[in-house]
Amino acid sequence: MKKRALGKSGLPVSRIALGAWAIGGWMWGGSDKKDSLRAIESCLDYGITSIDTAPVYGFGHSEKVLGEAIKGKRDRYEILTKCGMRWEGNKGEYFFTTNDNSGIQRDVYKYSGKESIIAECEESLLRLGTDYIDLYQIHWPDHTTPIKEAMEAFSILLQQGKIKAAGVSNYSVEQMDKASGVVELSSNQVPYSMVRREIEEDVVPWCLENDCGILAYSPLQRGLLTGKITPDYPFAPGDSRPETSHFKINNLIRTNKFLEKINPMAQEKGVTLSQLVIAWTLLQPGITVALVGARTEEQVKQNAGALDVKLSADEMELISKELDKLELELE
């Protein structure tokens, strides 16, 4: 798999990265550790070298599993993790309350204080079993802490060599402007899919103008765009997807009708709908990496196969026309 340089940092990343949220189990109805380890290890077989995780994914579980999987071959992966979501204490901006994998209730706060970020980095390094993080990202904006303070923490970590590049996640253009005034901003990780395209209005133009990479997360809209989610789909206990707007019954039915329109294109090419959707995502202006979740080796293999999908200008236009007809009722 060919790699791309991430923004001005020059950090090489694979065009498809493994999103390790589901591996954390939390909000995905659990996960199997053995499958998770094999999924991460198999990434190298299919050219996927970049793995994106976060402390809050399973409250440390995702990072620990990743650390176990890369042991002895750390130099073959790019590790992308995050900070700024704390479940111990109550500093910062309250975000939500949820149960962890053990059923213990956790209050999660967005907090980006300087000392907290530096401490979080040490905790992540320990869980990951490494002495450096390739890309460190603020997970969500914290409106109780000046962005300048958070970025100063990143500057310290860069100088110490504990992180190679600094990024953000879910940041607006205004917030990226403030952050980039303090530290060289390598990327912004944002939600982007065929059915969620708000970033095209302002985030994408800003990133193109400022040579800032875009990591598109949930390009399959948490599995919705695979075509496998039917109105009677058996979601596992603890799976939060049915509670989100895109999975409401009317939106689900309309999205599936759209997928039926473009499925013949996938069939003609001998690829899956998922692969077609990921290929479309990577062809959009400004998108550096598509972050795609996987919990098994087979899912990793299928994701990687999207790079072999070729879409002509006419095919891209046909998809766009069908997307223009799709009207979803989103909150």
Return the CA Rg of the chain: 19
Please tell me what DSSP assigns to residue 162: S
DSSP codes, 114-173: HHHHHHHHHHHHHHHT-S-EEEEEE-S--TTS-HHHHHHHHHHHHHHTSEEEEEEES--H
Residue with tokens 């707007």: 245
Six-digit token string for 113: 């204080």
DSSP codes, 205-272: HHHHHTT-EEEEE-TTTTTGGGT---TT--PPTTB-GGGSGGGSHHHHHHHHHHHHHHHHHHHHHT--
- In whole angstroms, give the CA distance from residue 213 to residue 210: 9
Choose the catalytic residue: 57, 77, 192, 217.
57
- In whole angstroms, give the CA distance from residue 256 to residue 261: 9
- H/E element holding 316? helix 313-325
The answer to whether 303 touches 16, Cβ cutoff 8 Å, is: yes
Residues forming a β-bridge with 303:
none
The answer to whether 99 touches 107, Cβ cutoff 8 Å, is: no
| Count of residues in the chain | 331
The answer to whether 40 touches 293, Cβ cutoff 8 Å, is: no
- In whole angstroms, give the CA distance from residue 186 to residue 7: 5
Q: 46 catalytic, yes or no?
A: no
- Active site members: 57
